[in-house]
Chain A
């Protein structure tokens, strides 16, 4: 007869402990990542601010770090980013919210089953493809309407960023609306409300915090979007609100510099990190706000 060997209790306990420690260490990698981001951004940024005053960086109206004389005012990049954010929001917010309302409230189950995956595909397309689309399809159309438009312009990039962020707004908002309990809807129907009235007065107000959070997340995504603006928005940092002109965003600048040969340790190399830090702080703040909005207003039924 075979003798069954049992491992001693101590041995089992020990190996279980080791496994737990390994898993905990893996969990710690995410903390290290955050520390790494902060360290890598701020180290060079601090060096940057040893040469250039924070005031000049934040209030200067010219950004020509690689020309003579170099000017380090980040505002043109911020304005460029803002322009993209505004244009993209004009598209993503109403269209995304409209899609969410349709899918959650109006669409028959069958149609919903077809349309929802299509929107998900839209979310899965790489941003480089949207950039190409902006450059080769959207810009030519804009040029037909406004012939003075330059080849690279904020409008076409902004539209593409807007299209890309539609699914973000629609899926989050739709989830929020779907989680509004039917009892609330039926209560309103029982009073004779039309579907539009139920949506306007019951569903949207109830889901409002998450809907707002989805808008903020879309804005945050637009701020950080890179390849579309690098391809279609141009590379001329400019203080302009004219969407038909070539501009440059913070992300666009980072790409432009990364493509070139900037020597390590030079002031040009450090601008990369100064702009990156600003970008990080802006998106981080936006994400915090959106989380706060959701948390603060979470209602329980």
Chain B
């Protein structure tokens, strides 16, 4: 083989290799979804959604975990959304370049890299013990809010950065104050982006189990949480619980639980995508 042919051959091999790498992810995803669907789909039923957990796999249901997850997501959303946007607004619109601003930004970047389970220990010490909220939904929601805040802030900052300066200047030229410009011009323009980022972060909180285990969510719940100060469990913990049971059938119940979890995640993510596509304001400079 002459040198040119060899070089071209190398290129082709490399092309195929990298393609196989990409394909690996696709194949794994399909295998994963298939294996879960094939195990769990038969166990899905209306009863599964409305029953309490049980010692008998056939009777086991996901109702308390489902409600616990909904409670948790709802509270996490209303806690983290205003704080996240407020912080992003402060950093993008108000803060001047200073050491303090740099410090906050660095701090947020660092927080984004802290393992989720560490947030659980924070929640256990501060919310469960120090503030005395106990092993309740509100402790879990506060913990989850702190966990997802860095990502909400960072994505909101990106959305705020994308607002064209010309729009803000035009608003100021009409004699508006800073806050009027923010509520009248900046936020409406950036909101789809902010919402997308926020919803994606919140969907992350929905699949997270580790910090809640540390905070003390229960593995077995035979009641329905009625207030934020009740004890609770969530879907991922319920799934974890089933998957670690010795009875083989419970693995299928766990698979059914995973299907429910994935469907909810899919729903939330679709909302994010629809919001982004529908309300994205496009302004040409």
Contacts and interface: CB of A to CB of B under 8 A. Distances in A.
A283 B149 CA distance: 19
Contacts of A30: 87, 104, 107-108, 111, 149-150, 153
B137 to A, nearest CB: 17
Contacts of A264: 129
A283 B115 contact: yes
Interface residues of A, number: 87
A28 B32 CA distance: 41
A160 B269 CA distance: 23
A137 to B, nearest CB: 5
A279 B115 CA distance: 8
Nearest to A226: B210
A2 interface: no
B208 A34 contact: no
Nearest to B239: A128
B219 interface: yes
A40 B209 contact: no
Contacts of A283: 113-115, 118
Interface string A16-44: 10011011101111110110110111011
B207 interface: yes
A64 interface: no
Of the listed residues B25, B87, B243, the one surrounded by the most CB atoms of chain A closer than 10 A to its CB is B25
Of the listed residues B26, B149, B219, B262, the one surrounded by the most CB atoms of chain A closer than 10 A to its CB is B26
Given A40-B122, A124-B203, A136-B35, A29 B28 contact: no
Interface string A121-144: 110111111111101110000000
User: Which 4 pairs, one residue from A and one from B, show the smallest C-beta to C-beta distance?
Assistant: A224-B115, A126-B207, A98-B21, A40-B125
19 contacts: A12-B177, A26-B83, A27-B90, A27-B91, A27-B95, A34-B111, A40-B124, A98-B17, A101-B18, A125-B262, A126-B209, A130-B32, A136-B243, A195-B14, A231-B244, A254-B121, A264-B129, A280-B114, A283-B113
Interface of B: 7-8, 10-11, 14-15, 17-22, 24-26, 28-29, 31-32, 35-36, 39, 82-83, 86-87, 89-91, 94-95, 103-104, 107-111, 113-122, 124-126, 129, 146, 149-150, 153, 177-179, 200, 203-204, 206-210, 213-214, 216, 219, 236, 239-240, 243-244, 251, 254-255, 258, 261-262, 265, 269
